[in-house]
Homo-oligomer: A and B are copies of this chain.
Amino acid sequence: MPKITFIPQNKEIEIESGTNLLEAADQAGLYIEGDCAGKGTCGKCRVKIVEGEAGNPTRADKKHLSEKELNEGWALSCQRRIKNNITVEVPVQKEAHLRKTTLAGGVEELEAEPAVEKRAVKLSRPAVKDQTADLERLLKELGRNDLSVKLRELSGLPAMLREHSYSVTAAITGNRIISIEPGDTSDQLFGIAFDIGTTTIMGSLLDLQKAAVLAVAAETNPQNIYGADVISRINHASQGQKEQKQLQDKVIEAANKIIKDLLKQTRVAKDRVYESVAVGNTTMSHLFMGVDPTYLAPAPFIPAYSRALEVEASELGLDINPAGRVTFLPNIAGYVGSDTLGVILATEMDRRSGNCAAIDIGTNGELVLVADGRLMACSTAAGPAFEGAQIKQGMRASAGAVEAVRYINQGFEVSTIDDAPARGICGSGLIDAAAALIDAGLIDATGRLTNPEQNPDQVPEKFKDRLKKGDHGMEFILVPKKDSETGEDIVLSQGDLRELQLAKGAIYAGLKILMKEAGIDEEDLDEVLLAGAFGNYVRKESALTIGLLPRLPKEKIIAVGNAAGDGSRMALASKTIRNRALALPEKVEHLELSTRQDFQEIFVDALKFS
């Protein structure tokens, strides 16, 4: 079996001969950027062969890598099947998800109302005059004859009672004892809230008795090797049970990494984590639970279930207390999941008077509108452009990503995350760049980059060398090759602008339709909430300039952070809020945009940059 050594991580792995490098890296637990599930179309999974033989460049290699790069050993990892020992250098990134972990709120002002209760009791000793069985003795002391207990806990009860002077603590939820522990552990009651994103998975460990977030951790969703978007993942899962299981394994594995991290940060024992609440889009919910998502993809987009699913941690292999309860909050529709429900919870859209819209832009875009007490939601086929996918040099928001571009004093100011040499462009950079080019008059209303050769008078002299012809139309050079990390120009291409138009158009059109349905206009909106990490980093002015958002005064546009994750934490911390969440799907009207007669027209209109 060929051995692959990954540097600088210094991981070694033996693989089956013929395995491609992308899969091998995945097996070694390394994250490699990529959006196209190994098809060779995104060109992002580049690595450098430092030693050994990795086959000849494929057509995809040649398309995405220059002659020079190929000569230096660069290769697309998805393109190379490995048959000999090699050493590979993997570009290290500050993980994009880390940026998201700084946004963890939602529970600061909540009253702690845990769904799990801990009760420490001291039992009387049995005697011939009182032959009550151990379990019944415990239940009597708890005053809860209705409780059931797992065999696993019951089995150890007799010895535990006798070894600890009949002093034990029970963790109880509903009519179930989750855990029986020696001595008094009543002060230890923890839970973990998950936000299972298509791109990023976040977890927060809460002290449930204080409704306090003790730690936050995140991981890239490793399902990304099966594609950046939910449709690719559904397509993979629908191939069979094995493939479905692969996707489930990936997400559970990442969740367990997060749990490990959270427990390490807080020194909490895993058996003291009794509950987990998760939100995510409907596809993520299905894949997390191991339920067939096949029929989400084709019309009429039917989920296997919409209610909340409650299962034991051991059923999923989630590394908390094995009898702990895992609740995935309910879906609203095939493409409006419990993440949107979390947004509604966290922003209290379900309790607002007046008119308010919330836009959650992640790998997909979901919209919620409340208008005079009427709550509506829809999803838009925005695609993952804002996560950097489908964009020529798009990348996730990690070090070296162009994150801000401003047109000031007739010049462009470009900045990257961590001020690192530019490697690509992330979602906020993309919007900023487009807005800056509009401001500079270099893009017309239809989204076309000006060609200085065709329209020399429209391009100031000093920008002429920043506009060049690429493989597919014009490109604007954001960072010249001499300043970039890759040694290539970092550009915004005409293709990128088209992707951006489609994405922003879809979102704006969706919002339009919701408002049309509610019978209100843009000016009737009291507020527009931007949810998601993206909402926090995007500049409102730029979003307004490109027409992603309704034309409202800036003050009415409010970034609310990772509201989906906040909703998950809130539902974990408070039974009352969780019950509100469980009842929400019935209160939300779902609009299916794809089949509306009026959608196409509004969508096409929304593509414009004006």
Contacts and interface: CB of A to CB of B under 8 A. Distances in A.
A366 to B, nearest CB: 15
A353 B385 CA distance: 82
B592 A155 contact: no
A554 B261 CA distance: 76
A464 interface: no
A158 B294 contact: yes
Interface in A296-339: 299-307, 309-311, 315, 331, 333-334
Given A155-B291, A290-B151, A295-B158, A135 B307 contact: yes
B305 A133 contact: yes
Interface residues of A, number: 46
Contacts of A94: none
A135 B295 contact: no
Contacts of A131: 300-302, 333-334, 590, 592
A331 B333 CA distance: 48
A103 to B, nearest CB: 31
A131 B303 CA distance: 8
B151 A304 contact: no
A278 B610 CA distance: 75
Contact of A136 (B126, B155, B156, B306): B306
A128 B300 contact: yes
A156 B334 contact: no
Interface in A314-370: 315, 331, 333-334
A158 B302 contact: yes
Given A133-B302, A135-B306, A305-B135, A292 B155 contact: yes
B307 A136 contact: yes
A124 to B, nearest CB: 12
A568 to B, nearest CB: 20
Interface of A: 126-128, 130-136, 148, 151, 154-159, 162, 244, 289-292, 294-295, 299-307, 309-311, 315, 331, 333-334, 590, 592, 594-595
23 contacts: A126-B302, A127-B300, A128-B299, A128-B301, A128-B594, A130-B300, A131-B334, A131-B590, A133-B303, A133-B331, A134-B303, A135-B305, A136-B307, A148-B310, A155-B244, A155-B289, A155-B290, A156-B292, A158-B291, A158-B294, A158-B304, A159-B294, A162-B295
